[in-house]
Amino acid sequence: MRVRRMPGPGTIRLAGAVAVALLAAGLGCREDIVAPGSCPELCPSAGVRVADTTLTGIVVQDSTYRGYVGAGEMDFLALSNRDSLRSIGLVRLSARASQWNYGTALDDTVSIGSVDSVLLVMNVVQRDTAVHGIRVLFYRLPALFDSTMSFAAAQAYLADSLLVDSLNVPDSVAAGTVSKIVRRGTLDSIPDADTGVVALAAVVRASGPTTLSVASSENYSLASLRVNWYATGRAPLDSLTHVFTSGASFDSFVREREPAMTGAGLAAGGVPAARSILRLRLDSLATDSIGVVRATLVLTPTGPVGGRPGETFRLSARGVVRDFGAKSMLFPDTSAGGTVSLTAGDSGTIQIDIARLLRVWGTSVGDSLPKALMLLVEPATTGMGEVSVAGSGAGAAAPRLRLTYVRPYVFGVP
Amino acid sequence: MRRRTILALACAAAALASARRAPADDSVFGIRGLGLLSRPLSARAAGTGGAFALFDAATALNPSTLGLFRSPAGWAASASSWWRYSDGPAGASLSSTRFPLFGFASPVGHRLTLSFSAGDYLDRTWAVQTSKDSVLRGDTVTFEDDARSQGGVTDLRLGAAYALTRSLLVGVGLHALSGSTRRSVERSFSNANYTSYGDLVVTDFSGLGVSLGAQMRLSRWLALAATARVNSRLEATATNGASARIAMPAELTAGLIYAPVVGSGIAVSLGYQTWARSADDLAAAEQERSRSVWSLSVGAESENVRLLGRRVPVRVGYRWRQLPFPVNGAALDERALSGGFGLVFSDGRASVDLGVDSGRRTAGAATERFTTVFVGVTVRP
């Protein structure tokens, strides 16, 4: 359809720009000042005509792949007690030694006589500030628990007898470090069979449903959960003290309901992270590298955008350099693609401007590129944002391309 | 003689480098038809409103005037122009500097003179900016269009003049019309979600022409001159594949000079160009139909003025001309007053001329006031 124009006469902008071109041979210079457009008398006979259209049926094949980034690769542990997301954290700490070196040359050794106290330290990455009384309950897990332990399997260890302590997250802490000296008798001793390894399950409790994110071992800016043991040497060296620190050697979180590996729609993001590839069939109009001034990929969500409450993330559509399905090579950034910001809970149509990708396809280089793009959430490791959109078989809700383009300009001759 | 010839050639070559890239008037009226008719006059001729152009050897109008050169000569002119355009509430001040003319001539024997010159023929340099609001995808978006054309058609002339008698010169000129224009259009949007659109096309022009001229001294005080020129069709070929052939006009110009006092004279010239021949071809190209046009110039020159012991020719003139390409149906006319003076050095081996041409063009409500300062240099090594 043709673009509607605002009623009323157009405004004529008077000359402003000045172009200066040096003449050859250094004989002089030339100066052109842009003339006013006194239309129609003194304007070009042809005008720039803009048109807008929506191309449907552009996706000939699509697929969703899940598992690009697992829960254990996220830079946070999601602890949640919401109906839509129930999750607990699983942490195995690095082994604590049973002795330490002392003396000037550090060549003498003393064994732990007793543990005076144990400090539990946790970094909060994100919390729901509207929910109060947040605390994290830590339960003792077998030191060598199975890293593929499920949410259901973990329930068996959430017994009072295995409770280490609870760590309060004050309302004043939106993000940062919280710590606590845990109850005596819970982490003071480590069975010899565990070879110094302590494992914990973390569960969140609060005055209402909430999700708490704490730093994981994948987080490069914040320390993961750690435990400090304040120890005294064995007699007669019981005057010696030492602090042992153990950070997470493995951490992850498990959910009551893990996302399906494949769903009705095309998914992107989530945990484990999903990506969807869309293979397109476009006519020459869409890949006209000159005429297209805006190209928007329109996606219809199959449900509200997922993620932690209030979480904002970017959904990107990146061009595919080589189509190997799940392991396709992508353009390194959205210079050949587009991106849109989404917030958990959004349910409106998703629009991503991909004119840059179409222009790449419109060049001679583009002839060797597959006409495919990948939907993915970026960055994938810092959030739980997830979106599911209708695929090519969804009829009117299928992905479509809205094009705004300039019809070929008629210069005229002479 | 040879060294003088080389020097004159060098001057002409230096001017060539610039003149080929320097279109003529950048009038806003150049957007219509084939552009604005250029006035490749020497500064001397410009100072007399063009009335002396038929009698001026450095103006590439009448090839017989080349016979006035008694030694090798090179010449070039620059023209700096200022315009004030107005059309109702719209208006703008514009300016440009260009080099519309250069040439070289050398006598061959006692009666024959050969010359090469280049001058502007059609100016197609203009730029227009318009801005408008539009609704795109439900949002009001302001866009700005920038349409430009740069270039024009240059008239390259190989001229020869022959002195049949002491009072009768005849000449012939072989003309090649050559040049190109670079048309571009760009639309930018106020909304960053839209990327700019741009496109351009280069159109090359070519054509041929022949001119004949004569100048006769009827008496000690009276001389006549006339020239006629015919042109082939102008071929226009664009890089987008489009092409056109435009019939070009026949041009007739005649003039009279009356010099009752030695060194002082009054001249009048009248010209006619059959641009109506182009009308059908322009209409086929969806342009407005052109019309045949008249031009009239009256001017005077006196070389009897001396300043600080130096001879200082002074000139005045008035001119009127019609322009062939209408503006939305309105005929375009131009009239101007002119004046100027010259400085002569080295016993006439070098001269610098200054001419000022000020007037206006009108087409309906659109008016363009202009002032052009011509500076010409002639060297006779």
pLDDT, position A8: 31
**Four-point Cα dihedral B107, B111, B117, B121, nearest 10:** 170
- Closest by Cβ to A6, choosing from B133, B234, B244: B133
Q: Of chain A residues 337-356, which have a CB less than 8 A from chain B? A: 353, 355
Asked if B90 and A34 come within 8 Å (Cβ–Cβ), the reply is no
> Which of A31-40, A338-347, B187-196 shows the lowest mean pLDDT across its residues?
A31-40
Cβ neighbours of residue B377 under 8 Å, at least 6 residues apart?
B11, B75, B76, B77, B350, B351, B352, B353
What residues pair up with B294 in beta bridges, in sequence order?
B272
More confident residue, A332 or B15: A332
**Tokens standing for B49?**
């409103």
pLDDT, position A408: 82
Asked if A3 and B136 come within 8 Å (Cβ–Cβ), the reply is yes
pLDDT, position A333: 79
Report the distance separating Cα B322 and Cα B363, nearest Å: 11
Q: Find the radius of gyration of the CA atoms of chain A.
A: 31
User: Which parts of chain B have pLDDT scores under 70?
Assistant: 1-25
Instruction: Indicate the DSSP class of residue B31.
Output: G
Residues of A in Cβ contact (< 8 Å) with B144: 13
Is A54 in CB contact (< 8 Å) with chain B? no
- Closest by Cβ to A13, choosing from B129, B198, B363: B129
pLDDT, position B114: 97
Q: Cα B133–A339–A273 angle (5° rounding)? A: 160
How far does the CA of residue A8 sit from the closest CA of chain B (Å)?
A: 10
Asked if B242 and A411 come within 8 Å (Cβ–Cβ), the reply is yes
Residue B172: closest CA among B59, B63, B57: B63
pLDDT, position A36: 54
User: Of A2, A20, A27, A352, which to mutate for an interface test with B (greatest number of B Cβ within 10 Å)?
Assistant: A27
Burial A381-414 (b: 16+ CB within 10 A, else e): bbbbbbbbbbbbebeebbbbbbbbbbeebebbbb
pLDDT-derived band of residue A319, with 50, 70 and 90 as boundaries?
very high
pLDDT, position A224: 93
Report the distance separating Cα A265 and Cα A51, nearest Å: 31
SS3 B30: helix
- Closest by Cβ to B197, choosing from A30, A32, A406: A406
Has residue A84 got a pLDDT over 90? no
- Closest by Cβ to A6, choosing from B90, B140, B240: B140
What residues pair up with B96 in beta bridges, in sequence order?
B81
Residues of A in Cβ contact (< 8 Å) with B145: 37, 47-48
pLDDT, position B329: 86
How far does the CA of residue B33 sit from the closest CA of chain A (Å)?
A: 8
Task: Kindly state the average pLDDT of the residues A95-124.
Answer: 91
Report residue B138 CA to chain centroid gap. 50
Asked if B87 and A30 come within 8 Å (Cβ–Cβ), the reply is no
Cβ atoms A386, A302 nearer than 8 A: no
Is A53 in CB contact (< 8 Å) with chain B? no
Domains of chain B: total: 1
- Closest by Cβ to A42, choosing from B15, B20, B327: B327
The residue ranges of DSSP E strands in A71-207, in sequence order, are: 76-81, 86-93, 99-102, 108-126, 134-141, 163-169, 176-181, 199-205
Report the distance separating Cα A153 and Cα B295, nearest Å: 103
- Tell me which amino acid residue A276 is: S
Q: What's the predicted TM-score (pTM) here?
A: 0.75
- Closest by Cβ to B193, choosing from A16, A50, A353: A353
**Tokens standing for A312?**
């904002």
Has residue A39 got a pLDDT over 80? no
Q: Is the dihedral of CA A368, A371, A374, A378 positive or negative?
A: positive
How far does the CA of residue B66 sit from the closest CA of chain A (Å)?
A: 25
What are the backbone angles phi and psi of residue A151, rounded to the nearest 5°? -60, -45
Asked if A411 and B238 come within 8 Å (Cβ–Cβ), the reply is yes
User: Of B84, B120, B132, which to mutate for an interface test with A (greatest number of A Cβ within 10 Å)?
Assistant: B132
Is A324 in CB contact (< 8 Å) with chain B? no
pLDDT, position A271: 86
Is A22 in CB contact (< 8 Å) with chain B? no
pLDDT-derived band of residue A12, with 50, 70 and 90 as boundaries?
very low
User: Of A48, A296, A360, A407, which to mutate for an interface test with B (greatest number of B Cβ within 10 Å)?
Assistant: A48
Asked if A44 and B32 come within 8 Å (Cβ–Cβ), the reply is no
Residue of B nearest to A54 (CA): B137
Report the distance separating Cα B262 and Cα B18, nearest Å: 38
Residue B116: closest CA among B69, B153, B49, B47: B69
Q: What is the CATH number of the domain that holds B72?
A: 2.40.160.60
Report the distance separating Cα A57 and Cα A337, nearest Å: 20
Report the distance separating Cα B244 and Cα A3, nearest Å: 32
Residues of A in Cβ contact (< 8 Å) with B22: 23, 28, 30
Residue of A nearest to B144 (CA): A13
Burial class (CB in 10 A: 0-12, 13-18, 19+), B370: buried
SS3 A159: coil
- Tell me which amino acid residue A298 is: V
Task: Kindly state the average pLDDT of the residues A23-39.
Answer: 41
How far does the CA of residue A297 sit from the closest CA of chain B (Å)?
A: 13
pLDDT, position A305: 93
Asked if A39 and B199 come within 8 Å (Cβ–Cβ), the reply is no
Asked if B134 and A404 come within 8 Å (Cβ–Cβ), the reply is no
Q: Which domain holds residue B102?
A: 2-379
Q: How many CB pairs (< 8 A) connect A and B?
A: 216
Share the mean pLDDT of chain A: 85
**Four-point Cα dihedral A216, A222, A225, A228, nearest 10:** 150
pLDDT tens track for A190-248: 988 899 999 999 999 999 999 999 999 999 999 999 999 999 999 898 899 999 999 99
- Closest by Cβ to B127, choosing from A34, A45, A411: A34
Instruction: Indicate the DSSP class of residue B58.
Output: T
Report the distance separating Cα A145 and Cα B175, nearest Å: 97
Asked if B242 and A412 come within 8 Å (Cβ–Cβ), the reply is yes
Report the distance separating Cα B356 and Cα B337, nearest Å: 8
Residues of A in Cβ contact (< 8 Å) with B85: 35-36, 38
Residues of A in Cβ contact (< 8 Å) with B134: 3-6, 50
How far does the CA of residue A397 sit from the closest CA of chain B (Å)?
A: 19
